[in-house]
Chain A
Amino acid sequence: KQEVTQIPAALSVPEGENLVLNCSFTDSAIYNLQWFRQDPGKGLTSLLLIQSSQREQTSGRLNASLDKSSGRSTLYIAASQPGDSATYLCAVEGRGSTLGRLYFGRGTQLTVWP
């Protein structure tokens, strides 16, 4: 059974710092990996999607890498801003009979203070 773990569970940093959020998964047979952002009590906003054949994706100040063989992904946030404060969720999509099903970690709660 696929299990997804995110470290750290919470992070509080001053504005301007560069951040690394970590995600690990137990079964390397994934179709893709997505990083989401969730504001309190709200739905999920997709940030980056990395196909299993890719190594990284970039969008603005965000960069996500994927090492499928070791079951790890990192989300790098450059020059953090207070508006980045949210919970960041990592999800992997299964293959075969579980294609289309997302397995989520518990998230990293990020606070960026001015």
Chain B
Amino acid sequence: DAGVTQSPTHLIKTRGQQVTLRCSPKSGHDTVSWYQQALGQGPQFIFQYYEEEERQRGNFPDRFSGHQFPNYSSELNVNALLLGDSALYLCASSRGGNSNEQFFGPGTRLTVL
């Protein structure tokens, strides 16, 4: 079992650019959530996808968008990058669309210059 995987591991972008981060859930999981963790802070919920639809959304602007594919993998897109978007982006997967234990991936470290 590969667990939750994310790509890329690290990414450097400049202000105004766009970025796409990818997540493959743990085998048997169909629900994917994305979190942003700034340095020294706890993770903040961005949104959750189940059955290819956004089920919940945290307090993030529309520059943050996502997608879930039929194989349950997911993408997080961020447009018009700001310096403040620099963070560790974490993907978590769970099973069944309802509350179940969430398993986290290793994260993608995004640096915006």
Closest Cβ of chain B to A43, distance in Å, is 4
> Would you list which residues of chain A between 46 and 105 have a CB under 8 Å from chain B?
46, 49, 89, 91, 93, 97-105
B101–A106 contact, CB under 8 A? no
Q: A41, A49, A99, A103: which contacts B45 (Cβ < 8 A)?
A: A103
B42–A43 contact, CB under 8 A? no
Rank and list the top 7 A-B pairs by shortest CB-CB distance, nearest first: A104-B42, A44-B104, A43-B106, A43-B104, A106-B42, A43-B107, A104-B43
A41–B88 contact, CB under 8 A? yes
Q: B4, B58, B88, B107: which contacts A101 (Cβ < 8 A)?
A: B58
Q: A43, A44, A97, A99: which contacts B99 (Cβ < 8 A)?
A: A99
Q: Which residues of B lie under 8 Å from residue A107 when comparing CB positions?
A: 42
Q: What are 28 inter-chain pairs, A to B, with CB distance below 8 A?
A: A4-B42, A34-B101, A36-B104, A42-B106, A43-B105, A43-B106, A44-B90, A44-B104, A46-B101, A46-B102, A49-B101, A89-B42, A91-B42, A93-B99, A98-B56, A100-B48, A100-B94, A101-B33, A101-B45, A101-B48, A102-B33, A102-B102, A104-B35, A104-B43, A104-B44, A105-B42, A106-B40, A107-B42
Tell me the A residues contacting B by CB distance below 8 Å. Answer: 4, 31-32, 34, 36, 41-46, 49, 89, 91, 93, 97-107
CA distance in complex: A98, B98 (Å): 11
Q: Which residues of B lie under 8 Å from residue A43 when comparing CB positions?
A: 4, 90, 104-107
Closest Cβ of chain B to A107, distance in Å, is 6
Q: Which residues of B lie under 8 Å from residue A100 when comparing CB positions?
A: 31, 33, 48, 55-56, 94, 97-99
Q: Is B29 an interface residue when CB atoms closer than 8 A count as contact? A: no
- Give the interface centre of B45, B55, B94 by most chain A CB atoms within 10 Å: B45
A-contact bits for B65-98, CB 8 A (1 contact / 0 none): 0000000000000000000000010101010011
* Contact of A102 with B43 at beta-carbon distance under 8 Å, contacts A41-B88, A41-B109, A43-B107 already known: yes
